[in-house]
Structure 1
């Protein structure tokens, strides 16, 4: 059909060259600040036996505005035309020139800027008879704001002959931009794959003449939305491999249509067969090598981020483990102190390298990885809660955690008391330090999770080195532990305090577990942990008859059983209520709120992110920030990532982030958003709100 339109238009141009002057076939214009619209036709009149008319909806779009393609992307509305009031019109085939990609508010949109003419092939009900075209147009135009437009265009075409040369040239130009069919193109679709549960659409295409500036626009049902494509081209320039993250998937998905553009050329592949497994990244596709200078800078950021983790709220749960290690080391020789802290540092490094290996393996299997997302796993939380609860009980003196006698004997025979416990302490500290992201760490993690296997290992090793630096300093200067007081009764009080810290951490993990999976599971874990602690405490009390130990065991057991009562949904909701009226995260709503002139503050948080909790209690819920977020001109939007949520994961990935906390502010003056540091300050939040709004925000100091 497209080829037929082009032939008709060329014929029309030839006729125009031979004919005399003709009345322009252009409707009265609809004008708005966003665009000017006209209905145009190539023919000035309908000749005898003519069965169709070549027309076009011509849109002159104002600077800074855009209109939408038939598949607008994540948000937007394509033009719709109702021809019901027309006369002598049997059908109207609306054509879509190839779109361009727009990105605003972190959202991908497809459409047109400056100018577009949608070719229309009008089939007449009565060939050779005059026609009255009546187009009722409904569309959306967007800039910093979005404006819905509804208008009518009218054009009468009398009987007669003649061609409007200007309209013919204009319609022909845009008809040439309508994507061609595969058989009329040198683009060849090799494969398309999408896992049944969504994830990432993978596409491989060949082009004999080579790719220059390709782009891919997928369509998979009205409710399906894709993020920006990651496009790679092979070394010979002929093979294209694209990955497009699925942000929302229709249920059930519609047929897959792919429109591929490359400069002025475009091809549409309809009813594409979708495989379940992606084509291998090869088709000789090669990643562009990143410069060593960039990697060196990222390694420095990773080291700094790992070092800062030692001072972040995330590290509070492991403070007791670190202090206990120092207390134990103070009673040994300098050599024992040195080797013990080296073993602890080795445990930290080993965990980070193991984490790097896990990331590489999961990426090879096609999984999306995020920093700290293991705390979304109920099994991980269950094991960690039990371990911390048992550690807390041991600090209270209910029982001792020791290696099996045979293993301890072999380790001692190998030289010294052995350092398996020190090694485990370092690894455990690294595990508990991963829920949150520290300043500098977000950039390093993003670089690692989008890089090669070598880069992943190098960056995670640098993070581990920064996290282990305090242990290495003590290992280098073992005399530092000599500053600790001599062992005595004070150590019992310190161990009790440290035990309370670990018990509090176990309680916090139960809170997280209730949010991740269910209150019932958290209750069950608490009951099991309480039973184990009580049994061990009673055994210790029978053998040594320590009333204090038995009382502590029974008290801790009772507390663990009673704890889930505060995890009921109503209790959790009451705890989360505060001075800020948070609205649930909805990525598409960001653009709508900004179009209405609001600033949008997005807070990506989770129950397991201690830095997020600190930001909330120390900055967001205190004046002046709380007052600013409550202002009518500001929308406070919260994305709760306690449980896995592909929408939030895709949003973070689109922002180049793989961990939390993450806060970003959008507004009329900041459509791409202003990302904030992981550790918030009132001044930074207020400045971002004011900048995004393009004005000062109510509640700012000095107003």
Structure 2
């Protein structure tokens, strides 16, 4: 009897101690890293293979990385000791982290990695797990381990199945999926019959290529992701055409891992709109530029100059306005060339970025003052004799002055991001170079339409009232408009001289600096986010500020306890704000966007804000109250 009891106790001891203890490493910690705990477990119940689980627990605010960390970080790895056969490592669907313009892919809080050792494994598995964890600082920590796999463990089987359930499948999410490349960008297109809820894209690293944060656009069941690409030095983009790309596409808890051969990107525009619609937007956007405060005086002066022609000659009027049209088209083609050079040199692209240069602003101020002084009759400003014409010529046979009037009007129009213009310019700067040139030409044609109308129908200009004393009043009015434009341009030099704008004093909203991390932190705390990217040289920004943002209703809404107001000032050059705009397919300001529990992916607002539309979107961002 005593012998039987001893044997039973011995069996229980074997079942409890060797198998349960040796089948896992227990929770491992390091003196150099008290922000992470790891545990390894192993099981041999599957026929012909050994299964392992690596459990990682992280403190709040810390993260570790996916197999392809992104633009920073190190993937977890194991250095095995002894003769260990091939090991398959399975990676759960990661999350994306964006900090200071750098995008990474990984995990936070807790993650479990399933592994499989193919073939006959040693009776005891040992090695060193190397884990990279990051918060404000990054730590690379080694965890030595040793464990003996158990033969059967129901708890392990459950945990292993659960971990494998978080690993992307080979199919089941999309009906169609393709990848294409163009200069500096990778385009992923997918179709899902049930539509998209909260899509996310994760890319494996490629040789000599780094991928920035994807810009994802959804139109019904179609998805299009635009991914900026550059080489490992942050310079020119490598050629991805013909190469095999591995990626994970996820949506609302379902993920699919795919391997694609990269082809040529389709000709569809990044905004998901047909190209002919973008052409129409470019024409409309260019036309609206004539109404901008800096351009309207030039056009008005141009029409007023017709009144000073003693002999009303249709051919002369036609030649003058066609010369101005040539100046407009020349300027837009020069802008297209500048954008092409900037793209090929991997520099920042933006509409109106020349107004971030104090020398350019100063030159424009002097030219506007010269126009104004000429209109007031103080002097007639002449170009060098080689050009043999006046800048603001009123009559005569010379056409160079009219040409440069059109070119000058174009330069003054660029700080404006009017409706339709922003979309067309965004598509142009993100599209292939032939499309970029075509769209900038369409913008030039759109701005030239009023000038072309007079050139084609000179009788419209010749029907203006006959010359008289009233013309002196018109010249003074145009001179005042030019002087006002010059004074406004002069105020743009204040930030370059160290002066700050006083307009913020009229606002009661506590604006915080714009950053991707600030957005992530606010969403983590279930707050709403209102984003305003602006610039002192942006006229449309000022219209939005005075007509919408500074109204009592909007100021009150932005002061609510669950609203975080973020502002990015693009008056001076800023790589961070340029990257922020580019990641959202934008190249111009103003840009406004709202995030929240009900708008996790964010919703961009129209270029021209409306009070009711802003308040409704801000309310929708709150989501359902739990």
> Same-fold call, TM > 0.5?
yes
Aligned twin of 1:267: none
What does residue 194 of structure 2 align with? none
Correspondence 1:614 to 2:594: no
Q: 1:97 to 1:217 in 2, by over 3 A?
A: farther
1:374-411 Cα deviation digits (max 9, x unpaired):
11112211211221122222222111023566754999
Residue matched to 2:229: 243
* Secondary structure in structure 1 of the residue aligned to 2:293: helix
Find 2:523's aligned residue among 594, 607, 627.
Answer: 594
**2:491 alignment partner, one of 499, 508, 511:** 511
The answer as to 2:282 corresponding to 1:296 is no
Moved more, 294-303 or 616-625: 294-303
CA distance in 2, matches of 1:263, 1:436: 39
Deviations 1:102-130 (A, max 9, x none): 45999955235999523799xxxxxx99x
For the 8 Å contact 2:321–2:402, the answer to whether it is kept is: yes
Q: In the alignment, which residue of structure 1 is the partner of 2:553?
A: 624
Q: Distance in 1 between matches of 2:326 and 2:619?
A: 47
Taking structure 1 as reference, are residues 380 and 43 closer, same or farther at Cα in structure 2, changes over 3 Å only? same
How far off its partner does 1:306 sit?
1.2
Residues 169-206 of structure 1 show CA distances to partners (whole Å, capped at 9, x for unaligned) of 9779989x99xxxxxxxxxxxxxxxxxxxxx999xxxx
2:597 aligned with 1:663, yes or no? no
Question: Does the aligned pair in 1 maintain the 2:63–2:109 contact within 8 Å?
Answer: no
The 1:511–1:263 alpha-carbon spacing in structure 2 relative to 1, beyond 3 Å, is closer
SS of structure 2 residue aligned to 1:317: coil
| Alpha-carbon distance in structure 1 between the residues aligned to 2:24 and 2:521 | 34
Output the TM-score relative to the length of structure 2. Answer: 0.65
Whole-angstrom distance in 1 between the partners of 2:538 and 2:441: 23
- Shift, 1:97, TM fit: 5.5
Give the structure 2 partner of residue 360 of structure 1: 340
Rate the CA distance shift 1:426–1:301 in 2: closer, same or farther, 3 A. Answer: same
Structure 2 portions without partners, runs of 5+: 1-17, 28-36, 45-50, 77-87, 117-122, 127-131, 136-144, 168-183, 187-200, 216-226, 236-243, 249-260
Q: How does 1:272-671 map to 2 (within 5 A)?
A: 287-290=264-267, 294-311=274-291, 315-330=292-307, 331=309, 332-403=312-383, 408=388, 417-515=397-495, 517-519=496-498, 568-569=499-500, 572-573=501-502, 577-671=506-600
1:117 is aligned to: 112
SS at match of 2:492: helix
SS of the residue corresponding to residue 513 of structure 1 reads coil
Matched, 1:262 2:225: no
Distance (whole Å) between structure 2 residues aligned to residue 643 and residue 358 of structure 1: 19
Q: Which has the higher helix share?
A: 1
CA distance in 1, matches of 2:624, 2:372: 52
CA distance in 1, matches of 2:419, 2:439: 15
Instruction: Measure how far apart 1:491 and its partner are.
Output: 2.2
Give the secondary-structure state (helix, strand or coil) at the position aligned to 1:624: helix
SS in structure 2 opposite 1:228? coil
Structure-1 residue corresponding to 2:170: none
Change (3 A) 1:157 1:341: closer
Partners of 2:72 and 2:560 in 1: how far apart? Answer: 26
| Kept in 1: contact 2:321–2:454 (CA 8 A) | yes
Q: Is the 8 A contact 1:612 1:660 kept in 2?
A: yes
Q: Mind listing any 5+ residue stretches in structure 1 that lack a counterpart? A: 1-20, 30-36, 45-52, 60-65, 80-94, 122-127, 132-136, 141-155, 179-199, 203-212, 231-240, 250-259, 265-283, 520-567, 697-703
Calculate the aligned-residue CA RMSD, in Å. 5.1
Partners of 2:43 and 2:339 in 1: how far apart? 63
Deviation at 1:449, TM superposition (A): 1.2
| CA displacement, residues 533-559 of structure 1 (integer Å, 9 cap, x when unaligned) | xxxxxxxxxxxxxxxxxxxxxxxxxxx
